[in-house]
Amino acid sequence: MDRSANMRAIRSKDMRPELAVRRLVHKMGFRYRLHRKDLPGKPDLVFASRRKVIFVHGCFWHSHQGCKAAHVPKSNLSYWEPKLQGNRTRDLKTIQTLKESGWESLIIWECETNDEAALIDRISVFLET
C-alpha cells in the first residue's frame, strides 16, 4: 500500500528540478511555452522562435549515467530493468525525431540543478547560439 501511494505521488510535470530551471530561465530573460503536446516527448520548455527545447530529466527515471541517484532498485528487477531501459530508448527516439524536424534539444539532469552558475552557462550557450 505504501509503495502504491508513493508511486502515485510522482508527477511528470512541475517537479522541483523543472521549476528551478523554469525560474532560472525566466530570470535570464528568456520566455518559453510549457509541455507542447504537438512536439514529440512534450518538452518541458519550448522556445518556438529559436526552434529549441529543454528537457529536465530525473536522474533515476531517465538513468543518468554516472549519477548516484540513477541506481536500479534491487527488488523486482523484472519490472525495473525493462522500465528504465524503455525510458532511455524513448528519450533517444524523441531527441532524434525532434532533430529530424529541425529542433535542437538540451537535457538538464536533476542533479545539475544544484549548480546554478554552471546551469546558467549551459542554458546561455544553448539558447544564444
Q: For residues 62 and 91, what is the distance between their CA atoms, to the nearest angstrom?
A: 8
Residue 92 — very low, low, confident or very high, per pLDDT cuts 50/70/90? very high
Average pLDDT along the chain: 91
Q: Nearest to residue 42, comparing CAs of 56, 28, 29, 31? A: 56
pLDDT value at 4 more than 90: no
Residue 95 CA to residue 105 CA, distance in Å, equals 7
Q: What is the pLDDT of residue 10?
A: 63
pTM of the model: 0.88
Domain ranges in the chain?
Answer: 13-128
**pLDDT tens-digit map of 23-73:** 999 999 999 999 999 999 999 999 999 999 999 999 999 999 999 888 888
Residues 13-128, CATH architecture:
3-Layer(aba) Sandwich (3.40)
With a CB cutoff of 8 Å and minimum separation 6, the contacts of 34 are 13, 22, 44, 45, 46
pLDDT at residue number 40: 96
What does the angle CA 67 – CA 71 – CA 72 come to, to the nearest 5 degrees?
155
For residues 12-33, give the mean pLDDT. Answer: 91
- What are the backbone angles phi and psi of residue 3, rounded to the nearest 5°? -60, -45
Nearest to 27 by CA among 121, 120, 127: 120
**Measured distance CA(94)–CA(86) in Å, rounded:** 12
